[in-house]
Amino acid sequence: MQAAETLLRETARDLFVGGVWRPASGGATFGVENPATGEAIAQVADATEADAKAAMDACVAAQPAWAATAPRRRSEILTEAWRRMLAAEDDLAMLMTLEMGKSLEESRGEVRYAAEFFRWFAEEAVRISGRFELAPDGSARLLTLRQPVGPCVLVTPWNFPLAMGARKIGPAIAAGCTMTVKPAQQTPLSMLALAGILEASGLPAGVLNVLPCARAAEIVAVCLDHPGARKVSFTGSTVVGRTLARHAGERLLRMSMELGGDNPFLVFADADLEAAVDGAMLAKMRNIGEACTAANRFFVASSVATEFSERLARRMAAQTVGPGLSGAQVGPLIDERARSRVAELVRAAIDGGARVLTGGAAPEGPGYFFTPTVLVDVPASAEILHTEIFGPVATIQTFETEAEAVSMSNATPVGLAAYVYTRDLARALRVTEALEVGMVGLNRGVVSNPAAPFGGIKASGLGREGGREGIDEYLSVKFAAIAV
Ligand code: NAD
């Protein structure tokens, strides 16, 4: 644990505003805890309203010069940051595991995934194109430009402390926008470390400002109300997203919303069951089930349901549960509130008649662990079938026909991701088209990829992150009509 202590001692805990690391005005701090032990690991500067105004002032001041910076230069800064992140993989991963709980191996994977957004957007920064056309009636020439939106407010969740930031910061830097980032209260250390890397990579002062804080609603509101703010990009729960969308709507800010999911995982009778179980483990257990893309409802053809459920239960039961630094596969949930919520959902389902194939309760001892759980015969009215579980719990329901599987999948107000296992190509394409989601994993348990447009439909949000679409969220279109 010596390495962890040294790392924590050397980790930034101040605000980063206008290129300066400093305490919060007034000097307040808040505590960050290790969810594997429940112990405090750091005190971090707690930004105030005055700090929020200062951060947005810094964005506004830095915006013109940053927009005028050559795309190649912006690209080089991102490439340098990508390199530095990979070089610092071990430290960044340990920091993330300490404040968030996931296994070291998963944290390492996230560092690489987050860094890849910088590489991807370094490549996009130099490909921001416009158009030059003759109007159809020949009366004018039309010049279409794409310019940076301007100062952005970026609000990120705790479940992927680096990646959810990198996929906003990367395109904002590439497009020439300045930004204020408000990381989740539970996991500010990873974002502060990332800011340090970007600073060392040559990012000019004021382009990126970071405001850890304990009072998210108040601090984000000041940022959105700042007259210089032009855009908000939020990743988090649908309920908070709605509040911010209302606020952004009032101010008529551009907005991107990456919100919650209720993702179905469909296994048809013709599926390769072994591959489906492998995919289910990834889709369910990645990030301890605390992923917006986590499989939330398993729908399995009734003829293979028993076999699939038993195989999945065996794999879930074999997972090792323990602190992320210990080498265990399944770390703790983020806090006591998250664990009690999962425990209550499971308890209510069991009380209502659900059968437990494995798990079912929280283990003894410190930390916010929950045992990997598989439930079948869950009553239709149980809340666990109608909410984002955000934990290592799989519920399995059965279906008879393809139409039924699609209709059960779509019976939810949100539409982020879906997973489909079948060997029938025509069915795979038919179901992909019919599912009301933004992303589909076809015979694959992971959809995320920096080169692909990530995002949802329905109440899962607005806009896309990553892919060729990702940079558009940070660009405004302008056109000039030019006399012939
Ligand atoms: P959350 O909505 O509670 O918090 C997200 C961020 O918003 C945090 O920084 C938090 O401090 C801040 N926040 C909270 N209340 C706020 C308010 N009133 N005003 C302004 N900011 C506020 O979400 P969470 O618990 O951190 O994350 C889990 C949720 O995020 C899940 O629903 C998950 O599905 C979703 N998520 C979505 C994606 C995606 O890309 N679609 C990715 C990861 C997580």
- Given the DSSP bridges, would you call strands 355-358 and 475-483 parallel, antiparallel or unpaired? unpaired
The minimum-distance atom of ligand 1 relative to the CA of 460 is 41
What number is the average pLDDT over the span 25-49?
A: 97
Q: Is 65 left (phi over 0), alpha (psi -120 to 50) or beta?
A: alpha
- Whole-number Å distance, alpha carbon 401 to ligand 1 midpoint, is 36
pLDDT tens, 335-369? 999 999 999 999 999 999 999 999 999 999 899 99
Contacts of 95 (CB under 8 A, 6+ apart): 7, 8, 11, 189, 190, 193
What's the pLDDT at 290?
Answer: 98
Is residue 2 over pLDDT 70? Answer: no
What's the pLDDT at 7?
Answer: 92
What's the pLDDT at 438?
Answer: 98
- Whole-number Å distance, alpha carbon 234 to ligand 1 midpoint, is 7
Structural domain spans, the chain? 4-259+461-483, 263-449
- Looking at the chain, the whole-number percentage of residues with pLDDT higher than 90 is 98
Is residue 484 over pLDDT 90? Answer: no
What number is the average pLDDT over the span 232-240?
A: 97
pLDDT tens, 402-447? 999 999 999 999 999 999 999 999 999 999 999 999 999 999 999 9
- CB 252: neighbour CB atoms within 10 A? 8
Domain 4-259+461-483 = CATH 3.40.605.10: yes
By alpha-carbon position, which residue is closest to atom 42 of ligand 1? 292
- CB 258: neighbour CB atoms within 10 A? 27
Whether ligand 1 lies within 6 angstroms of the CB of 36 is answered as no
pLDDT tens, 362-402? 999 899 999 999 999 999 999 999 999 999 999 999 999 99
d(CA 460, CA 438): 9
By alpha-carbon position, which residue is closest to atom 43 of ligand 1? 292
Whether ligand 1 lies within 6 angstroms of the CB of 217 is answered as yes
Domain 263-449, architecture per CATH: 3-Layer(aba) Sandwich (3.40)
What number is the average pLDDT over the span 44-48?
A: 98
- Whole-number Å distance, alpha carbon 428 to ligand 1 midpoint, is 32
Whether ligand 1 lies within 6 angstroms of the CB of 258 is answered as yes
Mean pLDDT score of the chain:
97
d(CA 309, CA 304): 9
Supply the residues annotated as catalytic: 258, 292
Question: Ligand 1 pocket: which of 49, 167, 180, 235 to mutate (most atoms <8 Å of CB)?
Answer: 235
Is residue 155 over pLDDT 70? Answer: yes
Is residue 1 over pLDDT 70? Answer: no
Could you tell me the two tokens for 33? Answer: 């805890």
- Looking at the chain, the whole-number percentage of residues with pLDDT higher than 70 is 100
The minimum-distance atom of ligand 1 relative to the CA of 239 is 2
- Whole-number Å distance, alpha carbon 162 to ligand 1 midpoint, is 14
What number is the average pLDDT over the span 276-296?
A: 98
Could you tell me the two tokens for 129? Answer: 């194109």
By alpha-carbon position, which residue is closest to atom 12 of ligand 1? 216
229 near 253, Cβ under 8 Å?
Answer: yes
